[in-house]
Amino acid sequence: MRVDDLRTAGRMGFDLATDLWRSIRFWGLIPVLILFTLGAAWGLSDANVAGIDTSTPMSVLYLTSALILLAGTLGIVVAGFDSISVPRANGQLVMELAQPVPRWVLALGRLIGVWMTVALPTILLCIGAIFIVRLRADGWVELADGLIFLVATMLLLIWYSAIQLVASSLAKDGGSALALGIGTWVLFTTLWILVSLVVAGLFGLNPTDAGDERWVEISAIVDLFSPNGTYQLLLQSRLDGGNNIPIPTPYVWLSAIAWTIFPVSILFHRFRNLRP
What percent of the chain shows pLDDT beyond 90?
Answer: 41
Whether the Cβ atoms of residue 223 and residue 232 lie closer than 8 Å to each other: yes
Q: What is the pLDDT of residue 210?
A: 64
- For the chain, the first-to-last Cα distance in angstroms comes to 25
CA 1/CA 179 separation, integer angstroms: 34
**How many Å apart are CA 181 and CA 160, to the nearest integer?**
9
pLDDT score for 73: 93
CB 150 within 8 Å of CB 123? yes
pLDDT at 113: 94
DSSP tag of 188 = I
Contacts of 274 (CB under 8 A, 6+ apart): 84, 93, 97, 103, 169
**Which is more confident, 33 or 199?**
33
Phi, psi of 257 (to 5 degrees): -65, -45
* Residue 20 DSSP symbol: H
Contacts of residue 236, Cβ cutoff 8 Å, sequence gap at least 6:
62, 244, 245
Report whether pLDDT(47) > 60. yes
What 3-state class would DSSP assign to 206? coil
Structure confidence at residue 214 (pLDDT):
82
User: How far is CA 11 from each of CA 47, 96, 262, rounded to the nearest angstrom?
Assistant: 45, 14, 24
Instruction: Indicate the pTM of the whole model.
Output: 0.91
Is residue 52 over pLDDT 80? no
CB-based contact 26:119 (threshold 8 Å) = no
CB within 8 A of 94, min separation 6: which ones? 276
Taking only the tens place, the pLDDT of each residue in 4-29 is 888 888 999 999 899 999 989 889 99
Distance of CA 18 to the CA centre of its chain: 20
Please tell me which residue, 224 or 201, carries the higher pLDDT value.
Answer: 224
Among 32-46, 163-177, 248-262, where is mean pLDDT lowest?
Answer: 163-177
Domain spans of the chain, in order of start: 3-272
Q: For 41, what's the count of Cα atoms within 13 Å in the CB-facing half-sphere?
A: 23
Q: Across the chain, what does the average pLDDT equal?
A: 86
At residue 140, does pLDDT exceed 90? no
* Res. 197: pLDDT tops 90: no
| DSSP state letter for 55 | S
User: DSSP for 255-272?
Assistant: HHHHHHHHHHHHHHHHHH
Q: Give the count of beta carbons closer than 10 Å to the beta carbon of residue 94.
A: 12
pLDDT at 33 over 60: yes
CA distance 140 to 101: 47
- Residue-wise pLDDT for 81-104, tens only, equals 778 877 777 777 777 777 788 888
Predicted confidence band at 262 (pLDDT cuts at 50, 70, 90)?
Answer: very high
